[in-house]
Each structure stands twice: as C-alpha cells, then as structure tokens.
Structure 1
Amino acid sequence: MKLSWLDIRGLGELKEAVLQEALHHRVEGVVTDDPADLTGLPPTLSRVLFPTGDALPDKFGEATIVVVDPARHGVTPAELALKHPDLEFGRFVEITDAPTLEEACEAARTERWSLLLFRDPTKIPLEIVIAAAARSTGSLVTVAADVEEAEIIFGVLEHGSDGVMMAPRRVGDAAKLKAAAQESVPDLDLTELEVVGTEHIGMGERACVDTCSHFREDEGILVGSHSKGMILCVSETHPLPYMPTRPFRVNAGAIHSYTLSKDERTHYLSELQTGSKVMAVDIKGSTRMVTVGRVKIESRPLLSVHAVAPNGRRVNLILQDDWHVRVLGPGGAVLNSTELKPGDRVLGYLPSEDRHVGYPIDEFCIEK
C-alpha cells in the first residue's frame, strides 16, 4: 500500500470538510503547519507537522512526524531526534539542480522520512532518488500537484515513491488520491474447467487487445460470454509459425465478450479503447492492471468453446476460429483453441456476482 498524505496548509474554509473526507477514506497522513489542526485526530492517522516559516514552533502538539528544511529552519532531523526521542523526523528537499538532487539522494539513504519537491516536470530525478534509496529503510514522500501526477509518481521505476503529498483543491480529491494509492489488484482464485464441446459458428467480429505491457508466458486476460464464467486467454508470447510473437497482444474473443478491469468491473471487448485498463492474470491468479494501446476489431470465423466448472456452472468463450488462437490450461499448458476436445482442461474464473453496467451486484439475473 502506498501512502497518501493530504496537505491542508492554507485551505481556509475547505479545511474541515477535507479533514472529514480524509478520515472517511482512511488516508495515511495529514500535513499542516499549525499544531492545533492535529488536535483530536485519531491515532491511525500520521499527524505530520511541516512548518512553513523560518522558525519552528516551541511545541509540536500532537504531531507524530515533524518535517524540517535544515536550510530554512537551521536544524537537522538528527538533532531534533535527540531532543524529542518520542517523535519521528523527516527532511524536506526541494530539487532544482544537481547539488539538491544529491541532497535528496542522501536524505533518501539516511532519513526516516524524506519529503521531496521536484521543480522540473521530468521524472528522471525521482528515478535517481528511488534507485539511491533501494536499500534504505526510510520512506520517500513526493509532492504531487494533482491526482494525475500522483498516479505517475506511484509508478516511477516500477517501485514508485512510497507516498505522495498533495494539496486538495476541492472535496473529493482525498478519495481520488486514496484510490491512486491502491497499487495492488487483488489476486483471483482460478479454477479448472472441463471442456465439454466446441462448435464452428460462422463469421463475426473478434477483438485483439493490444496493450502497453509485455505479457509473461503464463499470463493473459480473462474472457467469457457470461459475467459469471471466463476462460484465461493467453497472450501471443509463444512462438507461432508464419508470424513473429507479439507479447503485448491477446487475441481475446468476440466483441460481445466480457473481460475484467479494476475492482472486478467487467467491460465488453467492444468498449475497450486506447487508455482503457484491463486485468492481466497469470496461471496462479496473480493480477496486475495493464493499459490498452489499441483494440483491433476484424471479421473472422468464430469458434464457440463450452466448458463446465466443478460446481456445474457452464462457461462459454467465443473466439477466432484459428489454430494460433490459444488459451491456458493447468500448469501453464498452452492449448490451441481449434484442437480443444471434450475432457480437456482449461483455466477459468467464476465471478460470484451478476453485473449492472459492469459493476458487481447481487441481483437476479439469467445469462444464456
């Protein structure tokens, strides 16, 4: 879990509403320059004091973390820690050139907390600091101008910053920041499905989903005709005759088919477009979100694959009727769809809820 800190300094009348929203969405920290703002906040929240003036207050109130700028405040975190062993201290660094970048790297290596403000739009300096802190036990918190930048910061160099501090502009920004900090996608419990038959069903449109990511050999996306049953379609990472591998692509299925996105929301393959998010899944059920670069929809002969789960639930997948279109079986076996026969086993997923505009919902619904 990444850390989300809300900077409430200078919010004025908006401050109380933002605080309530922060508590409701369980952000990890609130940053202020006034110790009075921290009074009465719950112990589950990091209460961060970051004075804006040149002098530190005589008392830190109920702060649990105090961030200082040694150049402005005239004291280092280490010196303060000796006087206040019950508090944690951090160093603020504004990165504008090579010397301040080196200062940030040193802070990342040695301080318990490093609060970093990068003035240039490039994220290369942040990459350097993250690399410098690779073996550090401290935490990096990077200032973001908005939620969009926060999402980028969380993903820099794959590891990303440990946290983001952002000043909200309106009520609702706390919820968006917290959502951006949710770096992991819950794993899924895959199940083995038994193929009970296939049939050639004629022409239709199928979608190739081309992503901005490199799929692993045991990874693909879940696709199915019904929201309560999907089959794991493998990416084109495996060699094929007559064409090169395309490790970013999944020849996924007919355009009416469902696939999974964040929070297990379903999307029709026909809805996907540049910038959409889909869930990549491997044979162990490990998941990650990947970004769609494009979707290719073309008319092709189609094959309908019928399978059944151990609990009797029937699953259907309609995909391109061609030998090179594949699905994944137990142990990562790569199975050519046109060679599937009754008794073969494929990997699938059985969502437990029906769908309304893609969102899980517990209601009466029959799909057939």
Structure 2
Amino acid sequence: MTDVSDIVTDSITPVADTGVSRREEHFAWIDVRGLDDDLRDAVMQAAIHQRIDGIVSDDLMLLSDLPPTIRRVLAIGADTATDEVTEHTVDVILIDAAASAATPPAVSTEWGTQLVVSDARTLHHACDAVRAVPWTVLTFTDPTKIPLEIVIAAAENSGGRTITVVNDITDAEIVKLVLEHGSDGLLLSPSSADDVVTLARVVAHRDEPVSLVELTVTGVEHIGMGDRACIDTCSLLETDEGCLIGSFASGMFLSCSETHPLPYMPTRPFRWNAGAVHSYVLVPDNRTRYVSELRAGQPILAVRSDGTAREVRIGRVKIERRPLLSITATAPNGATVNVITQDDWHVRLLGPGGTVNNVTELKAGDRLLGCVPVESRHVGLPITEFCDER
C-alpha cells in the first residue's frame, strides 16, 4: 500500500512552459462521490452520452469499467491503496492536499491535487500548485471570484490546468468567464442527469461565425417619423462590429457601432443606433428578436465584418421618435431585403472590408454587408415554411 498526502509544491518539478497562451477550450468533470447508486448510474450514463471529459470517483472498480472515451479520475486520500492503480485502470490520480505526508504514487499515470482556498496562505499554495502540477482541482470557500482570478493569472502560460469546483449551473457559467478565458475545467456534483446535459452545453458553447454576403442597394427613401431604438451594450465594440438587423427575417444588414468620430458629440463605443422598433435583430443560437422586445441583461450577437461573432449583453435599450429612412437592397440569391433606420448622417451600415457607410449618403449600387438566412421565422425560431415578407 502506498500512502498519499500533502504535496509540497516547492519540491515538484514545474510543468513545462509551452511559451504560448493557454487553450481557450473548456471541459467538464463530473464528481460522482457521495451520489446514491441510482443517481450515480444515471449521471455516468449521461456523462458518457454527452462526451463529458472526465468522471471523478474514489472507487477504482467503478472507473475501470468506463469506456476509453471518458477520462477516469481517481480521487485518493492518505489511506487509499494504490497497488492496483496503473495507466490502464485510470487516467488521472487526484491527491487530496489536505491528507498527511507523502508523494504521488509511483505509476506513470498523470496526477493532480485537490486544494481548498480559504485564506491568503491557501491562495498562495494554490498559485504554486497550478504552476507545478498537471491538474489542480480548486474549491473556493468565499463567494468572491477574486481568488480564482489570481489563480488563473498565476497559471497563465503554464502547462498545468485548473479545474474549479462549481455549486450549480449558474456558478459554472460565471466561472467559465472569469478573466475572459475562465477556469480550464469545471467540476460539478450533479443533482440530476439533466445537470450533466446542461453543463455539457455550458462548456461547449461557442458563437459560430455568421455567413455574410454583399447586398446591393436598390433604393433609399425618406418615410417620415417613427420609433427607433438604440441598443447600448455592456461591452466596448470594435470599429467593424455591428448587430444584424432588418425588416425581414429573410435578410438583415450589418449595422455599425458608434465607434467612429462624430462632429458634434463623443463616440459611444458600446452602442448601435439599430433601427425601427419592428426590426428583427439576430441573437445567439440562431434566433431573432424584435428590437422592441429587447431588455437590459439579455444577450445579443455582435458580428464583425469578417463574420466572427460573440455574445454581448444589453445594458439598455432607448426608444425615441425620429425621422426614418427605408433602405432596400438585393441579395446575391435575388431576395429583396430592407432595413429602416434613423434618418441621420451619423447612423452607419458596414460594407465589404469593414467600410463605413453613412445611411444618408447611400445610393443605388452601393454595396453593404448582411446575412440572408435560408429559413423563415416563427417566434424568433428558424422554421421551414412558406413566408412572404414585403
């Protein structure tokens, strides 16, 4: 029997520094320790089906029955027998750093440590560990995310990976985004198999690029007064970043953020002067919403002129009566698309290469950027059905 214990990180050879930024991919581990048999079995089946990266258990036999598609993580304490542990039965040996005095087992399997961060001393220990240990599982006792931010910064460009224990799915979504790239991994003890499915979506979520096309302007018309909306976000936007907006679900224009100089007022680099309140706007998960429905805190999709996209949150929507301008264009597939904007020089739409076009200077033949979805929409969701928009 090999006893395992507290790891003195000063005596450990640091993980190799790759010299490159850490991976942006996130992964999830499921902790099945302490779950009753029925729940554990359901959770493990869900984890395998959802391609969760790893399962953590203190039962060697339980892990040895898992398929090779999932990482087998054996959590051990000071009195755990490791005679039967090999690289063929588990993939990672996780040592409890609160146990008493020893070293990692003498097997070629990768190993890691579990740490509880509760004060300055344990935070310092965690910062040492993430630079020296291949896998570091962290439990934070305080609700603030500042200790996690410090540990993530300490791990920057090291070869080690951090796995943060999360309390629930909401906590997982927050931890994933701490310091922008968040903890590498999330460890959850699920209360149901549904938690596993949701956690898999949290770690896998990425904003897919939007396929943009060139739209050719065919007409510009002053149409009088109406209600238009400004969308103020909680993010600073790039000079070629906009939201996709239009009168029809069959085609939307790439509006321009207010990041470019204005003659009589400062720039508003968080804002789109979006369009009339009836307009569709593209939000994450390939959904649309009416501009008039948008509220503070909701997500919206910010799209750059090369099609790359990210989710940003709405801080405020301002609806005001203004003169309006109707802009009609033709898409490459022959579809007619339209957007109604405020009738003012400072409102802009983006064109090929990120060119900035003041709406009051547009004329027939000008080229703009937009997208032309192939589906119709019903309550914002794509649906294959006949729909004639005019």
Same fold at TM > 0.5? yes
Amino acid of the residue matched to residue 84 of structure 1? V
The correspondence for 2:143, drawn from 118, 121, 139, is 121
Instruction: Provide closer, same or farther for how the CA distance between residues 248 and 113 of structure 1 changes in structure 2, counting only shifts above 3 A.
Output: same
* 1:272 corresponds to 2:294: yes
C-alpha separation in 2, matches of 1:257 and 1:30: 46
Percent identity, aligned pairs only? 53
The correspondence for 1:33, drawn from 58, 71, 80, is 58
Aligned partners of 2:98 and 2:115 also within 8 Å? no
Deviation at 1:363, TM superposition (A): 2.9
Instruction: Provide closer, same or farther for how the CA distance between residues 120 and 245 of structure 1 changes in structure 2, counting only shifts above 3 A.
Output: same
* 1:63 corresponds to 2:90: yes
Deviation at 1:130, TM superposition (A): 0.9
Aligned partners of 1:8 and 1:31 also within 8 Å? yes
Structural mapping, 1:223-262, within 5 Å: 223-262=245-284
Instruction: Provide closer, same or farther for how the CA distance between residues 37 and 193 of structure 1 changes in structure 2, counting only shifts above 3 A.
Output: same
Aligned partners of 1:233 and 1:328 also within 8 Å? yes
Matched residue count: 362
1:309 matched residue in structure 2? 331
Question: Bigger CA drift: 16-25 or 306-315?
Answer: 16-25
SS in 2 for 1:247: strand
SS in 2 for 1:72: coil
Amino acid of the residue matched to residue 107 of structure 2? H
The correspondence for 1:20, drawn from 45, 48, 56, is 45
Instruction: Structure 2: give runs of 5+ residues left out of the alignment.
Output: 1-24
Q: Deviations over 1:312-366 (max 9, x none)?
A: 1221111111111111111211111111100111111112222222222333333
1:74 matched residue in structure 2? 101
Structural mapping, 1:59-208, within 5 Å: 59-60=84-85, 62-72=89-99, 74-76=101-103, 79-80=104-105, 83-85=106-108, 87-208=109-230
Could you tell me the TM-score, scaled by structure 2's length? 0.89
SS in 1 for 2:65: coil
C-alpha separation in 1, matches of 2:134 and 2:318: 49
C-alpha separation in 2, matches of 1:366 and 1:101: 61
Amino acid of the residue matched to residue 26 of structure 1? R
C-alpha separation in 1, matches of 2:342 and 2:212: 23
Deviation at 1:42, TM superposition (A): 2.3
Deviation at 1:161, TM superposition (A): 0.7
2:34 matched residue in structure 1? 10
C-alpha separation in 1, matches of 2:62 and 2:117: 28
C-alpha separation in 2, matches of 1:287 and 1:57: 50
Could you tell me the TM-score, scaled by structure 1's length? 0.94
SS in 2 for 1:263: coil
2:349 matched residue in structure 1? 327
Amino acid of the residue matched to residue 65 of structure 1? V
Q: Deviations over 1:125-161 (max 9, x none)?
A: 1111111111111211111111111111111111211
SS in 1 for 2:258: coil
Question: Bigger CA drift: 19-28 or 212-221?
Answer: 19-28
SS in 2 for 1:50: strand
CA RMSD of aligned residues (A): 1.6
Aligned partners of 1:55 and 1:73 also within 8 Å? no
Instruction: Provide closer, same or farther for how the CA distance between residues 33 and 338 of structure 1 changes in structure 2, counting only shifts above 3 A.
Output: same
Instruction: Provide closer, same or farther for how the CA distance between residues 218 and 362 of structure 1 changes in structure 2, counting only shifts above 3 A.
Output: same
Aligned partners of 2:245 and 2:275 also within 8 Å? yes
Instruction: Provide closer, same or farther for how the CA distance between residues 361 and 37 of structure 1 changes in structure 2, counting only shifts above 3 A.
Output: farther
Deviation at 1:9, TM superposition (A): 1.4
Instruction: Structure 1: give runs of 5+ residues left out of the alignment.
Output: none
Aligned partners of 1:49 and 1:60 also within 8 Å? no
C-alpha separation in 2, matches of 1:311 and 1:27: 41
Amino acid of the residue matched to residue 59 of structure 2? D
Deviation at 1:73, TM superposition (A): 5.5
2:20 matched residue in structure 1? none
Amino acid of the residue matched to residue 260 of structure 1? L
C-alpha separation in 1, matches of 2:256 and 2:234: 16
Aligned partners of 1:56 and 1:73 also within 8 Å? no
C-alpha separation in 1, matches of 2:62 and 2:329: 59
C-alpha separation in 2, matches of 1:261 and 1:25: 25
